Amino acid sequence: MDRPFVIGNWKMNLSLSKSAALARAMAEEKPPERATVVLCPSFPFIAAVAETVEGTHIKVGAQNAAAEEKGAYTGEVSAGMLKELGCHYVIIGHSERRQHAGENNEMIKRKLTLANHYGLVPILCVGEKMEERQTGQWENVIAHQLTVAEGLPLAANFLIVAYEPVWAIGSGQTVSSDDARLAARTIRALLLELLGATVSQKQCAVIYGGSVTAANVKMFVGQDLMDGVLVGASSIDAHEFLGIINALNK
């Protein structure tokens, strides 16, 4: 992929003023256009962040979307609403939502379908737990999680699959470069089966997430490796996040 994705998942970490300041810092730095940079703030601050980065090539994404299109779903935010707010991307099925909000494949498939329907690029998170890796089940786990993409009518849209081993998130542990290469190859092969050759090659990207920093990002991205990264902790520090973007543009 010519333009690696560098996607920041700010989680529930930043206040309004800190979100705006981080977006401003990113916009002022004008990261190189050879990377596709996406910022994913908390729901209430999406509009402020979208306004701050308007006119730059930085895009905005959401961290989640409802599994329903509209109606009596108190507290939910729909894909259509996110589109109206200026989002281009949405994270779907993050392991923290699978763990804390009980999201299962059936809900994730509905979220994925709605995101795609509203023209948001879904960033579908998949990944195994430590015991699943230790017992050699990681491929099966990912294959099962990826079935939600089967037959997704992508039309002109794009799908990003984020391989995020649960044990690597926020732990300081990462996969090795060889494991990243193997995971990228495995996921691309599964996407080929699920979506066919043209779509899987032209409209899908596979990225890595889990304790990415400016110092280690080059281990995961490149030829035969991943098409970019999904970044948690390192994305809420402008200097570190810009360091990741710049490392991929050397």
Alpha helix positions (H), the chain: 16-29, 46-53, 79-85, 95-100, 105-117, 130-134, 138-146, 177-195, 197-202, 238-248
Find the binding residues for ligand PEP in span 49-78 (CB under 6 A). Answer: none
Say whether residue 165 binds ligand PEP (CB under 6 A).
no
Q: Return the residue of 8, 122, 210, 228 that touches ligand PEP, per CB under 6 A.
A: 210
Output the smallest distance, CB 209 to ligand PEP, in A: 3
Q: Is 211 annotated as a binding residue?
A: yes
Say whether residue 209 binds ligand PEP (CB under 6 A).
yes
Burial 109-127 (b: 16+ CB within 10 A, else e): bbbbbbbbbbebbbbbbbb
131 is catalytic: no
Say whether residue 80 binds ligand PEP (CB under 6 A).
no
Question: Pick the catalytic residue: 139, 164, 193, 240?
Answer: 164
- CA angle, 177 as apex, 173 and 181 as ends, to 5°? 120
**CB within 8 Å of 149: residues ≥ 6 apart:** 112, 124, 159, 161, 191, 194, 195
What backbone phi and psi angles, to 5 degrees, belong to 43? -45, -50
Cβ closest to ligand PEP, residue 205 vs residue 233? 233
144 is catalytic: no
Q: How far is 10 from 152, CA to CA, in rounded Å?
A: 27
Find the binding residues for ligand PEP in span 86-145 (CB under 6 A). Answer: none
Q: Return the residue of 107, 214, 232, 241 that touches ligand PEP, per CB under 6 A.
A: 232
Q: Is 170 annotated as a binding residue?
A: yes
Find the binding residues for ligand PEP in span 167-186 (CB under 6 A). Answer: 169-170
Residues designated catalytic: 94, 164
Which residues contact ligand PEP by CB under 6 A?
9, 164, 169-170, 209-212, 230-234
